[in-house]
Structure 1
Amino acid sequence: MAKVVFIHDPETPNLPRSISKTVTIKGSQILEIQGYSLTKGMGVGKYISSDPFSVGGHLWEIQFYPDGKKNDESGDIYVSLYITLVSKCEKDVRGWFEYVLLDENGNKWYRTRNCFKMMEKDKRWMAGPYTLLPGGNGTIGYTDFYKRTELEASQLIKDDRLTILCSVGVVKTSFDSPKTFTQPLPLSDLGQSYVHLLECKEGSDVSFEVDGETFYAHKLILSTRSPVFKAQFFGPLKEENSRCIRIEEMHAPVFKALLHFIYCDVIPDLNLKCVNTTMTQHLLAAADRYEIEKLRLFCEARLCENIAIDTVASSLALAEQHGCIKLKSTCLEFIGLPKNLEVVMQTDGFKNLKESCPAVIEELLKSVAQLGDHSSVSWYERVAKICSPGKRLLVCFLQNRVIEDDANEKHAKG
């Protein structure tokens, strides 16, 4: 990158300065000619071209002339190779160009005056920069790229195939001028305005009675954020008396947090470690109840980050009831660890999990089976404690299957 700095006085570096930044934007294309021998005799000035490729905001293509672009005065036939600017430009285009041939092993061979030489690994050979003028297509290349007979006698044509790699580097210049006058833009306060609207109750047209507390809100805002509220207020089955609504089975602080998120799209306190997991669990259930997907995902991520022995079972039950796949898999993996399993099983939350979500116990068994020590009898005893009496047959089946697999393995080794 080249930087040209203009200053009024070199002894006063604090003066305004303009910076010119010049960089090269590179791109490459391969033209593989299969059946090379069949291209001879196409005629002077006729070529095979690659698909157009874009570099530096311009379209380019490779053009290969098997019989040459022009007749040579000596009578020899030279193949011609060019890179052509396909798209028209309004300004000068400056660029670097590279033309190499690839052998069957992918090695690069570049043109010299009398022969081709193999390029060292990770090295580049580029010619230029050249300037292509506006007003038409620009072409850069070699009319006498190489004598055809010598090219065909080289190792660069294998199985009647010739592979050409051409690269383009477009030179771009930009200027950074000093900004004499700057004025910082004000930050958005839309969220604060909506929170103020919620708190001052101005224009409210609906109220909610939740756990002995009353909250005032605006139907239009609630309907915009929640499909459930939209159907309740404006759908075909809307409630006729929707001025005052009683919310059952929800705590007032949870509903307050739900309204706050609806109005300003953020729950600041949820990011604090002091906010307990139980509050987050209740808020996730409320978000699912009113189909506020962003809040549901936010709570799910928060619960995944704060998995703990005393709350993991209740979080697993919550994940099962509300379809939280990520939270569910995280809880199963946490409980399935041998160091956590027995401790979690002693919690009240695990006892409630066995009663409320019996299906998830079988999934827990699979998780334990993947993480546990199958060779230990005590492992099966611990697993059996997970299940109700009717499910312990599954543990016996797993134990017999593992023992059988071990026997087969020993028999195979013998």
Structure 2
Amino acid sequence: MAATVTPENPRTSPTISRSVTHTVNGSHKFVIQGYSLAKGMGVGKHIASDLFAVGGYHWAIYFYPDGKNPEDNSTYVSVFIALANDGSDVRALFELTLVDQSGHGKHKVHSHFDRSLESGPYTLKYKGSMWGYKRFFRRSLLESSDFLKNDCLKINCTVGVVVSAIENLQLHSINVTESDIGSHFGALLDNMEGSDVTFNVAGEKFPAHKLVLAARSPEFRSKFFDGLDVEQQEIIVTDLDTKVFKALLHFIYRDTLTEEVDEVSSTTSSDFLISETLTAKLLAAADKYGLERLRMMCESRLCKDICVNSVSIILTLADSCHATELKSVCLKFAAENLAGENKNEFRYCAFSAEKK
């Protein structure tokens, strides 16, 4: 007999939950420079990559130039991915790729992802557990192939850690749109409505709003409300050009970079003075006006321009603008990629930067 619905026994809404299992993926590129010097180190001896994090665990790539096991008699090189911290039954998928350096894209790929439907994820039970190949590539073939160039090998590793979570689903839900506050403040800048201060940059006028500027920048807040410029209606800017100041306002109101920043960064070459790019000048402006997020965004852009020819220039720029993350990347790049006279020159630049 069906239950009677009464005020004392109301009908409850049904509930539902869902288990979702997916992989958290991450990749690491391991560059092995000086392969010929590593060869002959002995069977079972390996070169290890830096640790890298995926899915809440740390991993490392192990390369055995003379093979992992004695029975292979140094005929093959071995490559493994290892769990580098304590874990219990970590389930994951893996892919190891030997990069074709000829540019033809004929990489040698060993992928556990492709076989996951047949065999499922691999389980690593403790620190030091490995997945990989004892016979990854025959050494004689490797040394005459396009995988070895300028005595250098490049190995890409992808790890997909399997995670499961329970989602409580509501039978009725309402989707909330992404925040559009940036577009609203951007419109406020575009139509100049309610502006109460004007910046004069090389004769070009930029109306703005003191409250918006003060909310975003401690420098502007001090200028407008703690200093002598409370009633000042026009401010002359002499240390920024119009393009930089326009990009600065764009970020303050919209919390994004202008398209011009992308264009300049993407076209930067070794022949182009990086300190004159819009990104570099905007980094200096971010430092002056205390815009930490803008500083980090510019640092991220400039990371893409780091090369042997530019690293000392970018290090000097990073030091002068207190860009600690960018400075750290420059120092690490130099340690890994510079040698001889280039490294000595870089050390001088680094020493000069530290003394400032």
- TM-score tier, shorter chain, comes to 0.3 to 0.5
Report the TM-score, using the length of structure 2 for normalisation: 0.45
Determine which structure has more spread, i.e. the larger CA radius of gyration.
1
